[in-house]
Copies of this chain bind each other. A is one copy, B any other.
Amino acid sequence: MEKRKILIQLDTDAHASVFDRVVAIDAGVDELFTYAGVEPEQVAGLVHGAIFTRHPRDLKRTAIFVGGSDVAAAEVLVAKALEAMIPAFGLRVSILLDANGANTTAAAAVRVAAKHLSLDGRRALVLGGTGPVGQRVGLLLALQGADVRLASRKLDRAEVAAEAIRARAPNASITAVAVAGDADLAAASEGCQLIIAAGAAGVVLLPASARAACKGLKVVIDLNAVPPLGVEGVGVTDAAKEYDEVICYGAIGVGGTKMKLHRAAVAKLFESNDQVMDAEQVYALGEGL
Contacts and interface: CB of A to CB of B under 8 A. Distances in A.
B22 A46 contact: no
Interface string A7-47: 01000001101111111011000011111001000100111
For the complex formed by this chain, how many copies does it contain in all?
3
B49 A17 contact: yes
A19 B259 contact: no
Interface of A: 3-4, 6, 8, 14-15, 17-23, 25-26, 31-35, 38, 42, 45-50, 52-54, 62, 255, 259
19 contacts: A3-B26, A4-B25, A4-B26, A6-B25, A8-B18, A14-B42, A15-B35, A15-B46, A17-B49, A18-B33, A18-B48, A18-B49, A18-B50, A19-B49, A22-B53, A22-B62, A23-B53, A26-B53, A52-B255
A48 B62 CA distance: 28
A257 to B, nearest CB: 14
Contacts of A42: 14-15
A81 to B, nearest CB: 11
A85 B21 CA distance: 18
Nearest to A46: B18
A35 to B, nearest CB: 5
